[in-house]
Structure 1
Amino acid sequence: MIYLKSENEIDKMRIAARLVSQTLGLVSKHIEPGVTTGKLDRIAEEFIDKNNARPAFKGYGPRSNPFPATLCISVNEEVVHGIPGERILEEGDIVSVDCGVEKDGYFGDHAYTFIVGEVDDEKKQLLKTTLDSLYIGIEKAVHGNRIGDIGNSIQTHCENAGYGVVRDLVGHGLGRSLHEDPSVPNFGRKGKGERLRSGMTLAIEPMINMGTWKVKTLNDGW
């Protein structure tokens, strides 16, 4: 079921989203060669706690294998859901940091991909194309359009640039829950899917690969 939000609810979501942005900004100051992903996670968790909010990802998932950390930190070939730990960042890495918080009953959730030191032009172009595709998708997120208009615009832009658009993982609605309807794929057909309405709140999450769109899940289950 899709929940349409009131202006008051959207204002509360903005507060949560702003805290996510502030957390990512703080973490970015510590991204450098030699730092561990676990240290970045601890910095984020302490900051979120000081702001009277809750890490949305920690403990999320099945009881048999809940996500164990505050951030998803995915390095290089890892697409999403990387578990922070002892991995040491190196010069030339690209690092996706995904953060979610719950504050006063509402969720914020977004990610940014950072570079470690200097990276080659091929990686820079991947990041630029992905960022551009996000804003292209956002432009389609207007009342009266359809979910497929968002996905098609992202897919077209990225595939025209020679990249693979991940199919197995998609964006989503959010609000009082971290994941709400509708699903928001980064691929699709114009004019297809759920019609967009004022009050819908969406996490648009382009996930773009060099080469194939296919991904696989590691033994950690994430």
Structure 2
Amino acid sequence: MEAINAFIAQYGALMAQGTWDAIVMTVLSTLFAYVIGIPVGVLLVLTEPGALHPHRIFNSVLGWIVNIMRSIPFIILIVFMIPFTRAIVGTSLGVGAAIVPLTVSAAPFVARMVEQSLAEIDGGLVEAAQSFGASTWQIISKVLLPESMPSLVRGLSITFITLFGFVAMAGTVGAGGIGDIAIRYGYQRYQDDVMVVAIVLCVIIVQIAQSICSAIARKIDHRVR
């Protein structure tokens, strides 16, 4: 008990701040990634052959761009984007700076997950909406997105957990968060207790995120009884 109290006294504030920074980076980058990824995913579905607005060239070019962005390892991307990050937020260090490459890395991943979720929808629903004279926007907002919501929520947990892992990597280049603490204290200073606590906190956060998203997905999935 004394050891625990001593650890809390020495590292409690540091671990709390690192945990908060990691959550903020993950949540905001997930949000921004979905703001970008959902429209891109919808465009991929709308312009594919046999869809509402097929356009082979546009679909191929957009898919090519998405695939290229998904192919770049995050640790390389975050270094490559340092000049762009500085231009956007004025620095390449800290929480705000990490959100930029995190978003850029996650948006193509989200776009493909959205595309996958929308592709699973029964084509008969779209045809029925068309027969009632629904516009493209109405089909997107009233059929495609609502029907795919359970799948999108499940995908949200995957995105959050993936980005949380990226946040830990971002800590190696000065982004802060749990990864930064684990590297600076747990690895470089050989303080195993800090490393263990960092790992435990990561596991707890990931489990909470997964449980929340799974519960929400089950709640809104009308196919689950």
What TM-score does the superposition give when structure 2 sets the normalisation length? 0.30
Q: Please state which structure has a larger fraction of its residues in helix.
A: 2
Q: Please state which structure has a larger fraction of its residues in strand.
A: 1
Which fold has the larger relative contact order, with Cα–Cα distance below 8 Å and residues 6 or more apart in sequence? Answer: 2
What TM-score does the superposition give when structure 1 sets the normalisation length? 0.30
